[in-house]
Homo-oligomer: A and B are copies of this chain.
Amino acid sequence: MVTPYRVKQLQMREEAILDVAHVLLGKYGYDAMTMDDVAAEVGIAKASLYKHFESKEKLAAKTMVRLFDRTVSELAAQKAPTAYEKLRDMLEWALRERLKGGIPHLPSTSSTLEQSLMTDEPYLASLFTLNAALSQLVDQAKGEGAIAKELPTDYIVTAIYARTCDPTLEYMQRGKTYSDDEIVRFMVNGFFGGIVRAQ
């Protein structure tokens, strides 16, 4: 018989580590985040950190996997009637997560991380699942006549990911001129409707 207490403790600690990594990656980015930071913030020794994740890269990869899995769940939970509205709601959700300090969906801030992710199986699998779900929604929205067929689906999917690491978000937030709601509105409307004419 196993001791579920120990196991549960370990799981909780792993969650805590991932929570901290999520915040710190969002705040500082991969390169500027140190493993000492993470350990200190969680309140554990660095050696314990390495009991859970064999490297900084694996920790970041796992954090991304959790984000992708959450995003897939979020997509599945969408109640909007059309694919177009689901996409809008999904982007709005992602932007609000980002405003709260979450990590972007693309590891665009670090080419070193990006390279190591490209060989991380769980990461690729999770990304693939999310990609499939998003591509399907975009194609559906095209079928509804809501989205321009001239733009390829893979371009649109990539562009949606890219919105979550769009520095416009931080610049607007830093400016303190606009509320979070306004920022999200500008970005969602700007992305779907463009900047030409009235919305």
Which residues of chain A from 182 to 199 have any CB-CB distance to chain B below 8 Å in the complex? 186, 189-199
Task: Decide: A165 and B168 in contact? CB cutoff 8 A.
Answer: no
A181 sits at the interface (CB 8 A): no
Copies in the complex: 2
What is the bound-complex CA distance between A54 and B109, given in angstroms? 26
What is the bound-complex CA distance between A167 and B189, given in angstroms? 20
Chain A: residues with Cβ within 8 Å of the partner, total of 47
Task: Decide: A146 and B109 in contact? CB cutoff 8 A.
Answer: no
Q: Contacting A165 at CB < 8 Å: which of B32, B112, B167, B198?
A: B167
Task: Decide: A198 and B149 in contact? CB cutoff 8 A.
Answer: yes
Closest 4 CB pairs of A and B: A194-B194, A108-B167, A193-B194, A162-B168
